[in-house]
A and B are shown apart, each in its own frame.
Chain A
Amino acid sequence: MAEKTAKKEKIERQPMPEQPAEVRRRNFEEVPLGYTEEMAVMEAQRCLQCKKPACVTGCPVGVSIPDFIKCIAEKDFKGAIRKIWEKNALPAVCGRVCPQEMQCEGQCIVGKKDKPVAIGNLERFVADMARNAGSDEVPEKAAPTGKRVAVVGSGPSGLTVAGDLLLKGHDVTLFEAFHKTGGVLIYGIPEFRLPKAIVASEVAGLEKLGLKIECNMVVGSIVSIDELFEEGYDAVFIGVGAGLPRFLNIPGEDLIGIYSANEYLTRANLMKGYKFPEYDTPIIRGKDVIVFGAGNVSMDSARTAMRLGADRVRIVYRRSREEMPARGAEIHHAEEEGIEFHLLTAPVRFIGDEKGRLKQLEGLKMELGEPDASGRRRPVPIEGSEFLIDCDLAVVAVGANANPLLTQSDKEITLNKWGYIVADEETGKTTKKGVWAGGDIVTGSATVILAMGAGRKAANSIHDYLTIGW
């Protein structure tokens, strides 16, 4: 056994082929190009096939990771996708956007001494292979139960609930407020990180399983939760996302040239503003761009600005590098593409020209002081360190508040003091009978996979309710 392990560790982690940084920073094509079959098989051989796999405990939806990797090593790619499908209806998405280093790969035993097995890259490989093979094979579905479920919101949590419940034989209708399905996967995450054709194909896969989709449906306005029950739905899942963007609340924030990240990315991704005037929605193309915040959304915004022709893109963040919440790969990619990081820097005010267009930012340098309640050292301003920098576009990516549109329309659903829905952590049950919730409208802004994890738990609980009782 020891000898076998030693032999396995000799294989180096297979690097993911990528578009070169100097090319990709000006196009919207996907950055990683994907493994070849040889690379995938080679990488799969690095897996130790642990008896008690730590990687699985690190996965919010509990994918049987060693099992699907074993299939790859044996070149049984169909077997591999079937293994993943048992726990994850959206593998092509997760392989691309999960923060693997904090989840499965973060727990990987190989990673203790060497680089961890590239679980995300392998998942992506299997999913892409299945999709490109164009096979009509879909996961097996249980006999119809005759129960109807309304899923509100077609983002990662809603799609997971829909996928799981379809497989369990329920009749599922998905309601989406936008004109296209996918939620944040469509409006938020850029094409170069998650091609929209992949999201469309994952949704089409659910339609093959019998999913009904109704777009342009703002539940809470056009139809209430109670009316959904009156229309014959037996259960409702709410996964409407976080919503209202947060701003910096500093002077000059209403100047032309200052976007919330939600608006900037929605213009670019959902409305295809980067193809203006072929598409009708305009987007400001800044030359000197500043992005506030250091999460995945900031990286997406900064890299989008670069692709829209910026000369210079700066990320301004008030804490230090260690606290940056973005996925490691995103920070790395952004740096490679020439995005600058101005850490320990806080915005003070925006300055405009006579036409009300953004011209400059006044900033302030910070230093790390005593630890705050979260245990992180609190950034404190350095007196007299004010400075001015020129900019013609600013994107504010500092999180979101709860969207009240749906929640204020139903008084039986209890909210917490921030306006998020109170839902049971294990089941996703809200305080209203027959109604579940999950994703950002429960937790506040988080990741795709956490929303999917919440969707998985809710789907199990909804199934129990429909077959056993509340």
Chain B
Amino acid sequence: MFKIIRREEMAQGTVILNEIEAPRIASKAKPGQFVILKANETGERIPLTISDSDAAKGTITIIYMVVGKSTALFKELQVGDAFQDVIGPLGKPTHIEKLGNVVCVGGGTGVAVLYPITRGFKQAGNNVTSIIGARNKDLLILEDKMKAASDEFHVCTDDGSYGHKGFVTEVLEDVLKNNKISLVVAIGPVPMMKFVSKITKNYNVKTLVSLNPIMIDGTGMCGGCRVSVGGKTQFACVDGPEFDGHEVDYDALMTRLSAYQEDEKKAYEDHCRMSGNK
């Protein structure tokens, strides 16, 4: 069992932070890696990228958006409760090195995954520009932490309730126009990563994206997380989760992510009805 020792609600309760006791995982976890969590006996295995880890304290932190039955079950777990299973660290860590100017672009809960990577690039001596976005001000997460880990910092909201009104891609284009950038790291919804990659390709700037496809085991066995990268089939769990943003087939990825939409919708609605929510 993996006990929750800290729990926070963010973005008006739509995003949850859990700090979990997992000393063995914490001692090995590196930025960019993920874990698979299972709430209880009948639960699904859900992959989530590690947002932070503390080897001394023996904990890892995950941040997730409540989108279906499984994450709704996670949300019900309080401090002192436990996940039945946590497996990891899985996937390849981000290759962090000193490159010069690095831009980190995050959208939605992707910012949670982006944060340890941003901090890593900053600590490695890079000049880091961060651009984070959300639909509105209330849905923004980790603003202070991202700001502290960046040399230059931008916020965008779709509705203009905070920072730049519009998409992260618009601010990114400005940054690319006026600076010599060595690397862009983009983590967020698939359409965001797709459009960031489109722009950076025009500027010929190397781009890393972190993918979160459907998977079961996370160790290379099921092949459910296969993505097409540069025309080749890759498994996000063992070959990724980070890939060259210019090579990923985002449309195929989006299609595959929709595989269980109807089942998931029904399971979530049934769950909400049973637990009296909404």
Contacts and interface: CB of A to CB of B under 8 A. Distances in A.
Contact of B69 (A247, A257, A260, A280): A280
Interface in B212-271: 216-217, 219-224, 226, 228, 233, 235, 238, 252, 255-256, 258-260, 263-264, 266-267, 270
A420 B223 CA distance: 19
A324 interface: no
Interface in A175-228: 177-179, 215-218, 221-223
A374 B64 CA distance: 52
A263 B264 CA distance: 18
B238 to A, nearest CB: 6
Most chain A CB within a 10 A radius of its CB, from B43, B221, B264, B266 = B221
Contacts of B141: none
B38 interface: yes
Interface string A231-274: 00000000001011101010001111101101100110001100
B63 interface: no
A109 B252 CA distance: 57
A216 B35 CA distance: 10
A271 B260 CA distance: 15
A247 to B, nearest CB: 7
Contacts of B44: 271, 280-281
Contacts of A266: 216-217, 221-222
B62 to A, nearest CB: 15
Given A218-B88, A222-B89, A256 B259 contact: yes
B219 A260 contact: no
B45 A247 contact: no
Given A221-B28, A221-B89, A267 B267 contact: no
B86 interface: yes
A426 B252 CA distance: 47
A255 B251 CA distance: 11
B70 interface: yes
A272 B216 CA distance: 12
Interface size of B as a range:
35 or more
A222 B220 contact: no
A320 interface: no
A177 B42 contact: no
Contact of B220 (A216, A243, A254): A243
Contacts of B28: 221-223
Interface residues of A, number: 42
Contacts of B235: 244
B84 interface: yes
B140 interface: no
Contact of B255 (A244, A256, A279): A256
Given A218-B88, A263-B216, A282 B221 contact: no
B267 A256 contact: no
A245 B217 CA distance: 12
A249 B252 CA distance: 16
A244 B217 CA distance: 11
Contacts of B224: 259-260, 263
Interface in A403-456: 403-405
A256 B213 CA distance: 13
Given A266-B216, A271-B44, A356 B87 contact: no
13 contacts: A179-B38, A216-B86, A216-B87, A218-B90, A223-B24, A243-B221, A245-B221, A249-B233, A254-B226, A254-B228, A254-B255, A403-B219, A403-B220
Interface of A: 177-179, 215-218, 221-223, 241, 243-245, 247, 249, 253-257, 259-260, 262-263, 266-267, 271-272, 276-282, 284, 355-356, 403-405
Interface of B: 24-25, 28, 38, 42-45, 69-70, 73, 84-90, 216-217, 219-224, 226, 228, 233, 235, 238, 252, 255-256, 258-260, 263-264, 266-267, 270
